[in-house]
Amino acid sequence: MTPPSTQSSPGLAVFLKVSSVAVFTGMAAIVKVVSEVVPAGEVVFFRSLLALPVILIWIWQRGDLREALVPNNIGGHVWRGLFGTGAMACNFAALGLLPLPEVTALGYAAPIFTVIFAAVLLGERIRFVRISAVALGLIGVMIVASPRLSLTADELTAGAQLGAILVLVSCGLRGLVQIHIRTLVKTEHTAAIVFYFSLTSATLGLLTLPFGWVMPDPMTLLLLCLTGLIGGVGQILVTSAYRFGGASMLAPYDYASLIFAIGIGYFFFSEVPTLVMLLGASLVIAGNVLVLWRERQLGLINERARAARQRD
């Protein structure tokens, strides 16, 4: 199987990556609006179903339609869909309970979970730098979540407690998704992973129909459809970004989402981030950046070792 061609264009890669971050943050804001009247499972269904045509057209234009529609590991796609859909549903439900910047900040814990799961499930060795990064990130998560998870919280904050728990569950599931994708990419084309995730999540979302779907009014229906279309565009943007730039170079731009979330939260939802949230988010970001730096260093070391072996 021949992978899609790639070329180095850092400027274009950064533009596409930041654009995808802005698009996904905008989608989260729309989800926050509709979550006041629509259950999370119904939102997942519309988000996934309406993304499918956009993704299929994009795959067809790339010439990857055959690879996308012929999976080699059906069971792997199902598990990736279960984990990913669970993460999406938890995150969507949390958006109805917490401010957008707070959900965004807590969401940065996902890479920390990925490192932990890589050690536990894949047997990857974690040395001092990664252990320090995980510890720093977890401290940041506890700082952000502590006001919501206080044992003295009253009924007025019970919803916020549940929201914080849902975001952390979503992060754990996203960590499992990343571990699972590491296995999937060995046999599956990227187009197949993108397509079958949307198909699986749409199916799982539809299965929640007996558990309390509502008939949306025309404006809410429009917003639900927009989540799917925008989500599909965002997926295309982020996937295209990695065709023009390396993952280690682009990963730090994920944190631009906090800037977008703060702006959208302030102007559209009158949400003002607290100093505690910003401090905790800074520590989580610092832990993730430390992991990225370590991954980059290890990559350089391995590349030099391969070059030395080739010379020998």
Question: Residue 280: which of 151, 154, 149, 174 has the closest Cα?
Answer: 149
Q: What is the rounded distance in angstroms from the CA atom of residue 224 to the CA atom of residue 206?
A: 14
Phi, psi dihedrals of residue 186, rounded to the nearest 5° = -70, -25
Question: Quick check: 84 pLDDT over 50?
Answer: yes
- Identity at 16, one-letter amino acid code: L
End-to-end CA distance of the chain, in Å? 31
Please state, in angstroms and rounded to a whole number, the distance separating the CA atoms of residues 244 and 176. Answer: 26
Cβ atoms of 31 and 95 within 8 Å: the answer is: yes
Q: Residue 46 corresponds to which tokens in the numbers above? A: 């519309």
Q: Burial, 183: exposed, middle or buried (Cβ in 10 Å; 0-12, 13-18, 19+)?
A: middle
Residue 229, both tokens: 């279309």
Domains of the chain by residue range: 10-311
Say what the pLDDT of residue 119 is.
Answer: 84
What is the tens place of the pLDDT at every residue in 231-283?
999 988 988 888 887 766 777 888 999 999 999 999 999 999 899 999 999 99
pLDDT of residue 30: 97
Instruction: Give me the chain's average pLDDT, please.
Output: 86
Residues 8-61 pLDDT 10s: 678 888 899 999 999 999 999 999 999 989 999 999 999 999 999 999 998 898
Q: Which residue has the higher pLDDT, 153 or 198?
A: 198
Report, as an integer, the average pLDDT of 71-81: 91
Phi-psi category of 150—alpha, beta or left, where left has phi over 0 and alpha has psi -120 to 50? beta
- Give the pTM: 0.87
The pLDDT of residue 179 is above 70: yes
Exposed, middle or buried by CB within 10 Å (0-12, 13-18, 19+), for 52? middle
Joined tokens for residue 188: 């599956």
In the chain, the percentage of residues whose pLDDT exceeds 90 is 51
For tokens 């509502």, what's the residue? 214
